[in-house]
Amino acid sequence: MITEFHLPDLGEGLTEAEVVQWLVKPGDPVALNQTVAEMETAKAVVELPSPYEGTVSTLHAEAGDTVAVGAPLIAFDVAGDEPEGDEPASDAEEKTEPNLVGYGAAPASSGRPARRARRGTAATSSAAAAEAAVIEAAPHDALPPSEAEPVTGERPRSTPPVRAYAKRLGVDLVLVAAEVGDRVITRSDVDAYAERIGATGSATTTASGGETTDAPRTASAPPGGERAQTRIPIRGVRKHTAQAMVRSAFTAPHVTTFHTVDVTATMDLIEQLRADKALADHRIGPLVMIAKAVCLALGRNPSLNATWDEDAGEIVENHFVDLGIAAATERGLIVPIIRDAERLSLTGMADALTRLTQTARSGKTSPAELAGGTFSITNIGVFGIDAGTPILPPGQSGILAVGAVRRQPWEYRGEIALRQMMTLSVSFDHRLVDGAEGSRFLKDVADLLEQPGRAMLY
């Protein structure tokens, strides 16, 4: 019989999702938990598994359509006499529940221990959790897209964002795969192929006279002298970013403090650790050292790790650090979370950052991994920028911007010497954090980077 499947909440109370691409068509047989579509929410691209075993009957939306949570998405022809709805078709299927990316493992297969209970859960739920921010930078240790986890199956090997990008340009990834061979296809591969064949995607272009037309979006620049405009729909990550940043900027009174730090000792220590063969499996870089210093400094300055709960009239101090790290992806800039970062050793922090960036670059970061951070780090230094005034992620009271490391003359032990310098910028919510405590936090981070041995005193 025909059974309708309605779009579920893909995580954190999101109300809609866009169909990136269908992986099945009407008439195709499907197995339980087989991926049938890739859906883009405001936070991530997720793979949608089939909740039934049967045959695809109808697709209620096309690629590029936005579907509301609860709306019919796909219909299946399922054997048996079950009533229509979203329940599994048999007892056997109940034992193997569909596993939606973002929800974690299904109950029957979940073997992970439950996280400890935390105080102040109201401060990290509902709207605040749903507004995990996208920040203006990427970590130094971000891995190149070519190191992303490959997508298995008979499809060309690429990540969900690259497949969506190729679809917008009208590029067939099967043909790209024939040129690049057996490796993961990157966005640059798609661009190169599109330029050669003159591929186009859809966009709305406004001519100089003001008339709006549905014109193709080309992979190359418009002809010289033509006054043209390209209109790109505001959706997905960009739409969510705009809403979250406006809400944060007009809710929390921002203050930013700057401090230039001599990080020569930290950079020397990094070189020593990288030369240690026993640590060869760990990617220890500047961001790892900074993340560790931030966790230690937050323990001494708890208001930077707190949340303003307007409804309850309370300041919620978190006795754990869920550390957000900005990561550049082809979908945009996202901030996945390292849970309980204060518990990690230096090598543990390095491994967590590596996993975080690999997952983000492969487009597999789930909505749950983007929600509920307590403090964030954004690395503007990767762009050669020295300092900035980052906007707070909604619900957080502090964010640290990390500038570029530059070798420059500096006073050292009474003389002028060439030292490796970095500027740190911390923005904080002045409702929770006084200027003195914000400055103390920044000074604590700076002291740990200037003299990394001081970490032994914390």
Active-site positions read 430
DSSP state of 165: H
Asked if residues 171 and 188 have their Cβ atoms less than 8 Å apart, the reply is no
Q: Give one DSSP letter per residue of 334-401, joined into a string.
A: E--EETTGGG--HHHHHHHHHHHHHHHHTT---GGGGS--SEEEEEGGGGT-----PPPPTT-SEEEE
Number of Cα atoms under 13 Å in the Cβ half of residue 45:
25
Q: 412: part of which helix (H) or strand (E)?
A: strand 406-412
Burial of 51 (0-12, 13-18, 19+ CB in 10 A): buried
CA gap 431, 413 in Å, rounded: 39
d(CA 305, CA 289): 19
- Angle at Cα 67 formed by Cα 216 and Cα 326, nearest 5°? 75
Task: Report how far apart the first and last C-alpha atoms of the chain are (Å, whole number).
Answer: 65
* Helices and strands (H and E) in the chain: how many: 10, 24
Helix (H) / strand (E) containing 217: strand 216-218
Query: What's the CA gap between 388 and 397, in Å, rounded?
Result: 17
* Helix, strand, coil fractions of the chain, as percent rounded to 5: 30, 25, 45
The residue with tokens 């809609």 is 16
- What is the Cα–Cα distance from 44 to 62, expressed in whole angstroms? 19
Residue of 332, 293, 335 lying closest to 426 (CA atoms): 293
Distance CA 59, CA 75 (A): 7
* Amino acid making up residue 151: V
- C-alpha–C-alpha distance, residues 220 and 222, integer Å: 7
How much is the CA Rg of the chain, to the nearest whole Å? Answer: 24
Q: What is the 3-state secondary structure (H, E, C) of 44-92?
A: CEEEEECCCCEEEEEECCCCCCEEECCCEEEEEECCCCCCCCCCCCCHH
